[in-house]
């Protein structure tokens, strides 16, 4: 029976060491992408796909996340007194956005372990997992299509992106068979962060998953893999050949995706998004052209 999917799980317990010292006292999910914390884009994406129940799996140092999605009376009162409704609206946007729950993962043992923490909250329904390092352009909806595909195939669905072969070592890589839909493949194997020589393809798993709840049973028995961590990729690999789990399909994403997981991609994402915005682009674009021309 197809379930109506309502729940999103967002793992947010990473230490963000690539952004030190910025992330010494602040979670990496709160780093602004232009003027909004990265995590807000992700929550907005879940809500846009109809997922109003969000569970964040957090860790130490994550109070700022909870505060961001809560009310902030002093600021609201000040803006109200000033009659600054536009900014007040910005403050409210992240307060009323979704029904957000938090689970604090005591010992972070990897992405698979983080997802396993969601078991009690999710129960026996399919659910989505969104990783905060990947931002999907709202003009190219992906999650909604994955949810539709999940309902149609009653399988688990991962998002795939074609990457340059020399980049595949940064991702889970898929071995696959085509289906009658050119955007959908049946996954026959998954390898976490393979070398370019051993990668089964250059189709990379990006951080969007719509999973059947059987993943929890599999994760429970998944041994630590790469880096000594319980890998979601390893659990999904087992599910590709376990019929009782419904199997795994991949939806190939051909839209715009921004990686905010490392410094250079984070900077690129900000420049790209800001230069396309109506309020910033007209001033930023000519400056960028001039700046680039002045570089040798």
**Interacting residues with ligand G1P (CB under 6 A):** 111, 131, 133-134, 171-172, 192, 204-207, 231-233, 261
Provide, rounded to whole angstroms, the least separation between the CB of residue 77 and ligand G1P: 40
Asked if 160 and 146 count as a contact pair (C-beta separation under 8 A), the reply is no
Whichever of 126 and 250 has its CB closer to ligand G1P, that residue is 250
- C-alpha–C-alpha distance, residues 132 and 10, integer Å: 7
To ligand G1P, the closest distance from the beta carbon of 56 in angstroms equals 16
Which residues neighbour 258 within 8 Å (Cβ) at sequence distance 6 or greater? 33, 134, 135, 137, 265, 268, 269, 272, 273
**Residues 34, 89 contacting (CB under 8 angstroms):** no
CB-CB contact of 219 with 118 (8 Å): no
Residue 205 or 218 with smaller CB distance to ligand G1P: 205
**Smaller CB separation from ligand G1P, 26 or 204:** 204
Nearer to ligand G1P, 111 or 155 (CB): 111
Residue 79 or 135 with smaller CB distance to ligand G1P: 135
Dihedrals φ, ψ of 93, to 5°? -50, -40
CB 210 to ligand G1P: min, Å: 15
| Identity of the residue, 65 or 206, whose beta carbon is nearer to ligand G1P in the bound complex | 206
Residues with Cβ within 8 Å of 83's Cβ and at least 6 positions away in sequence, in order, are none
Q: What's the closest the beta carbon of residue 155 comes to ligand G1P, in angstroms?
A: 18
Name the residue with tokens 């230490």.
15
Give CA 287 to chain center in angstroms. 31
C-alpha 246/C-alpha 269 separation (Å) is 36
Task: Find the shortest distance in angstroms from Cβ 204 to ligand G1P.
Answer: 6
CB of 239 to ligand G1P, least distance (A): 14
Closest residue (Cβ) to ligand G1P? 172
| Strand intervals (E) in the chain | 7-12, 32-33, 36-37, 53-58, 99-104, 127-130, 134-136, 156-162, 172-178, 184-192, 203-211, 248-252, 257-259
Shortest reach from residue 236's CB to ligand G1P, in Å: 9
**Smaller CB distance to ligand G1P: residue 79 or 130?**
130
């Amino acid at each position: 029976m197809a379930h109506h999917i309502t729940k999103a799980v967002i793992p947010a317990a990473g230490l963000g060491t690539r952004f030190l010292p910025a992330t010494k006292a602040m979670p990496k999910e709160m780093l602004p992408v232009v003027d909004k914390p990265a995590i807000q884009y992700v929550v907005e994406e879940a809500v846009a796909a109809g997922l109003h129940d969000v569970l964040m799996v957090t860790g130490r140092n994550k109070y700022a996340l909870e505060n961001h999605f809560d009310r902030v009376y002093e600021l609201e009162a000040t803006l109200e007194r000033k009659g600054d409704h536009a900014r007040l609206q910005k403050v409210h946007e992240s307060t009323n956005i979704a029904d957000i729950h938090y689970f604090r993962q005591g010992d972070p043992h990897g992405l698979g372990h983080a997802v396993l923490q969601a078991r009690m909250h999710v129960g026996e329904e399919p659910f989505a997992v969104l990783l905060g390092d990947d931002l999907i352009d709202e003009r190219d909806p992906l999650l909604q299509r994955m949810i539709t595909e999940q309902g149609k195939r009653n399988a688990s669905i991962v998002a795939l992106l074609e990457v340059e072969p020399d980049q595949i070592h940064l991702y889970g890589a898929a071995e696959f068979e085509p289906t009658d839909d050119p955007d959908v493949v049946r996954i026959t194997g998954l390898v976490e962060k393979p070398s370019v020589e051993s990668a089964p393809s250059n189709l990379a798993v990006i951080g969007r998953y719509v999973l059947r709840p059987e993943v929890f049973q599999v994760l429970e028995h998944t041994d630590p893999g790469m880096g000594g961590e319980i890998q979601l990729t390893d659990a999904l690999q087992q599910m590709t050949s376990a019929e009782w789990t419904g199997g795994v399909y991949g939806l190939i994403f051909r839209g715009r995706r921004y990686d905010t997981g490392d410094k250079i991609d984070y900077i690129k994402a900000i420049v790209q998004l800001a230069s396309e915005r109506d309020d910033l682009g007209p001033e930023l674009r000519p400056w960028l052209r001039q700046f680039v021309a002045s570089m040798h």
